[in-house]
Structure 1
Amino acid sequence: MSRPFPSVPVLSVSVLCHKDGSALLIKRGKPPYKDHWSLPGGKVEFGETLAEAAARELLEETELTAELDGPVEVFDSIQRDENGDILSHFVLAVFVAKNPSGTVMAGDDATAAEWVALKDLDGRITTPGTPARIRRLLSKLA
């Protein structure tokens, strides 16, 4: 089986940036989950801390900077093909970003970036578990 991704888990980060009852989502421009809405994030580079990777990915994909807390959650994202064979395996450390500054603009491999009200999360095609993760993590902050 040829595999488009590495045959080992890939360490990655996601950033839940929030303000005024909305969460910042990006539309993914590359597989896996191309054209799905997701939290900003990506792979951790060699020699980079998780927090450095989270700050870099937030800036690259949205043009925003923010205060980061975390990681607040770590989870596996495993994508399988129709036969059940593993296509990709990412281990994601999720950070929460508060007090964002800058003007949202999609960059890097994001094709769009938008503030989305919590009530509107379910109306979008998202990466698996994203709306529930956002609501769960934000409810812990309240």
Structure 2
Amino acid sequence: MSRNREFPDYPVVGVGGVVILDGRALLIRRGSEPLKGQWSIPGGTLELGETLEEAVCRELREETALEVRVLELIDVFERIFPDPRENVQTDSAQPLRPRYHFVIVDYLCEAISGTPRPGSDVTDVALVGEDELAP
């Protein structure tokens, strides 16, 4: 069984944390795939034995240096990234596995201490107003 996030045997559980500071959303620029270089909310994958809420708190600490408290569930959704080789002919009758398949659980979080700064797998952090977000 593959434990990799890339070409997994099973969907990978991920978490994200929405933090609002001074009326603006905290975003991070991703430092690794998938979506390397793009802006997103902070988050990552669940570790064995960890609860969803523990995971989102750990990820926010690692990626932004913030200690947070989870307030409420926002949404649960899937992100499936197809295999970039999808159009390549294979000898197998089986379809290619997706490159990434995440089930993501996003929470609204409250910052309780710290100042946002880039941490692991993050190249930048920003506070963005609602008018700056793409629809």
- TM-score bucket (shorter structure): 0.7 to 0.9
Provide the residue aligned with 1:18 in structure 2: 20
Q: TM-score, normalised by structure 2?
A: 0.81
Specify which structure has the higher proportion of helix: 1
Structure 2 alignment gaps of length 5 or more: 88-95
Classify the secondary structure of the residue corresponding to 2:60: helix
Structure 1 alignment gaps of length 5 or more: 123-131, 133-142
For residues 100 and 116 of structure 1, what CA distance do their matches in structure 2 show? 19
Aligned residues: 121
Taking CA–CA contacts closer than 8 Å with sequence separation of 6 or more, which of the two structures ends up with the larger relative contact order? 2
Q: Percent identity?
A: 41
**Could you say if the C-alpha distance between residues 100 and 23 of structure 1 is closer, same or farther in structure 2, counting changes exceeding 3 Å?**
farther
1:107 to 119, 122, 127: 119
Provide the residue aligned with 2:128 in structure 1: 116
Classify the secondary structure of the residue corresponding to 1:52: helix
The one-letter code of the counterpart of 1:78 is I
2:96 equivalent to 1:94: no
The one-character-per-residue Cα deviations of 1:71-125 (angstroms, maximum 9, x if unpaired) are 3211001112453752100001111012442111100101111111111122xxx
Deviation of 1:60 after TM superposition, in Å, equals: 0.4
- Verify the 8 A CA contact 2:71 2:107 in the aligned structure 1: yes
Classify the secondary structure of the residue corresponding to 1:104: coil
Deviation of 1:20 after TM superposition, in Å, equals: 2.5
Higher Cα radius of gyration: 2
RMSD over aligned Cα atoms: 1.8
Runs (4+) of structure 1 exceeding 4 A deviation are none
For residues 71 and 12 of structure 1, what CA distance do their matches in structure 2 show? 13
2:29 to 27, 30, 35: 27
